Amino acid sequence: MRSDPSPAHLPAAPGQAGQVARGLPAAAAIAAALAVGIGAMGAHGFRDAGDLRGAMLMETAGQYLMWHALGVLVLSVLPGRLRIAMTLLLASSAVFAGTLVLLALGGPTWLGAITPLGGAGLILGWIMAAWALLRRHRQA
């Protein structure tokens, strides 16, 4: 097992790849903070106003965003080439949660057709993470 202290275990040399790898845990932490805000907005803004559909959409968005943000934070400390999977997980959770938030806020209904693309990206991201982790064990 490698003992590489850099996030996502990429080279620490300056350059775009290293900056992206270091930025992923920070982006995941920001996503977690947004998830808390989305959850609070759903509970206090929508539920208190009697908009149960909006509250449910916000709750789902907040939960998915939080779980995937935490997942990326966990993946960021594991050895292996997980940068692409983590990027896909963060981007897909943003698409998934973002479209739900926009729908809750009265956005156009066609956004509902985009939400499953975020979900598919989440599934693919976790499959990619599993593949990278399995390959790591084979190479060890």
Number of H helices, E strands in the chain: 4, 0
pTM of the model: 0.81
Q: What angle do CA 81, 133, 75 make, to 5 degrees?
A: 65
At 114, which amino acid appears? I
CA-CA distance, 122 to 54, in Å (whole number)?
A: 23
Question: What is the pLDDT at residue 48?
Answer: 85
Residues 6 or more apart whose CB falls under 8 angstroms from that of 78 comprise 9, 133
pLDDT tier at 65, thresholds 50, 70, 90: very high
pLDDT digits (tens, 9 = 90+) for 68-98: 999 999 999 988 789 999 999 999 999 999 9
Residue whose pair of structure tokens reads 């909006």 in the numeric block: 54
pLDDT digits (tens, 9 = 90+) for 1-28: 444 444 444 444 444 445 556 799 999 9
